[in-house]
Amino acid sequence: MKNIILGVCGSIAAYKSATLVRLLVKAGANVRVVMSADATSFITPLTLATLSKNPVGIEYFKADTGEWNNHVELGLWADAMIIAPATANTLAKMANGLCDNLLTAVYLSAKCPVYFAPAMDLDMWLHPATRQNVIRLQAFGNIMIPPGNGELASGLHGEGRMAEPEEIVAFVDAESKKKLVLAGKKILVTAGPTYEAIDPVRFIGNHSSGKMGFAIADELASMGADVTLVTGPTAQTSKQKTIKRIDVTSAAQMLEACLAVYPGVNAAIMSAAVADYTPAEVAEQKIKKQDEELSIQLKKTTDILKTLGQQKAAGQILVGFALETNDEELNAISKLQKKNLDFIVLNSLNDAGAGFKGDTNKITIIDSALHKTMFDLKSKEAVARDICDKVTQLLNG
């Protein structure tokens, strides 16, 4: 979720909203805070505006400037609304459709999932009116973040304290993933080049930047998948914080990492540019410049894609890539069939804008039935969506 409205009500627990804003922003969300007037007695709007890097909404309009806080626009903008702390008073208003302040007006305008984290004393929480309001809100489709059990502001001990900010973020993240098309799916992605050592300072490598693989991993994670990214040496970073990253250097290390992960995944997308050959012997010391010529004996690396294809279980999806310079389709189909792939992503260095290092790519997807889908030149992020859509179709039947 990128756009989140945080509603803050008048409760002693409002002080926790500062931490909540920071955690949401850290997770990559764009946060807009809307406060009730009473909430400003517990925490200042300036604090939340500074942490969220957005102005805080309190009133419908500012009397001195006439500036209007458009509650309908806010409700349409948000991917999720979190009301934390949610007081008994605000819960009652929400349950009965009252909107005498900006916060409740935004709630009634929201088209997104709405989460509420109750915060009140034990007797208020247990009162039949509050219980009925909560039941009614849940019947509307709103999602309650259960209150905790512990010491309350009154000195009583029991249920009613607002969930901790870390618990709220984890709860919302888990709930939102349930609605995503790849929720519960585990996917392995490889990216980048491999470096095959010649001596302690030199290696054989290639020009892969890792951009395509990282874009695929980010797209899969945004669709709810549990992604493990095995990457060779690259300066790329993931946008999605949930991705588990395993850094490797050589083809042998990448093979070992993939074999450890592969049995437990639903799909593997092998976009790394793995070396086909590696030095037969690695010099222990730096090779000194002596003769006019230097010969290095090479040996084949283990074919990772073929190895996984041989181990592929029923229902697993395996995707390979083919970067070709001649006889593109013929070579790609041969690789598709020999390595037991579900589909292969072909790109040609003869196509302008395709290949390594750049921010664009032009691909053709060929599946196991030899159905061919050609795509125009696109950004690598857009290409990643096309590839992930194909994987999703196969995983979901």
- Sign of the CA dihedral running 111, 115, 120, 123: positive
Q: How far apart are the first and last CA of the chain?
A: 26
Q: Report the C-alpha gap between 225 and 253 in whole angstroms.
A: 24
Which residues have C-beta within 8 Å of that of residue 26, sequence separation ≥ 6? none
Is 286 assigned to a binding site?
A: yes
Closest to 213 in 3D by CA, of 198, 195, 227, 199: 227
Q: Report the C-alpha gap between 35 and 47 in whole angstroms.
A: 12
- CB–CB of 85/162 below 8 Å? yes
> Counting Cβ atoms within 10 Å, is residue 2 exposed (0-12), middle (13-18) or buried (19+)?
exposed
- CB–CB of 331/321 below 8 Å? no
Q: Report the C-alpha gap between 207 and 193 in whole angstroms.
A: 7
Residue tagged 């196509």 (tokens): 351
For 170, the 3-state DSSP assignment is: helix
Q: Which of 70, 89, 206, 331 is catalytic?
A: 206
Cα separations in angstroms, 372 against 305, 329, 333, 388: 21, 10, 10, 16
Helix, strand and coil in the chain, % to nearest 5: 35, 25, 40
Is 321 assigned to a binding site?
A: yes
Closest to 102 in 3D by CA, of 142, 70, 140, 54: 70
CA 200 to chain centre: 37
Q: Compute φ and ψ for 69, nearest 5 degrees.
A: -90, 105
Catalytic annotation present for 340: no
Residue tagged 């949610």 (tokens): 86
Residues facing 78 on adjacent strands:
none
CA 102 to chain centre: 31
Closest to 273 in 3D by CA, of 206, 215, 340: 206
Largest CA distance in the chain: 91
Summarize the annotated binding site for CTP as residue ranges.
276, 286, 321, 335, 339
Could you list the active site residues?
Answer: 206
Q: List residues forming the annotated binding site.
A: 276, 286, 321, 335, 339
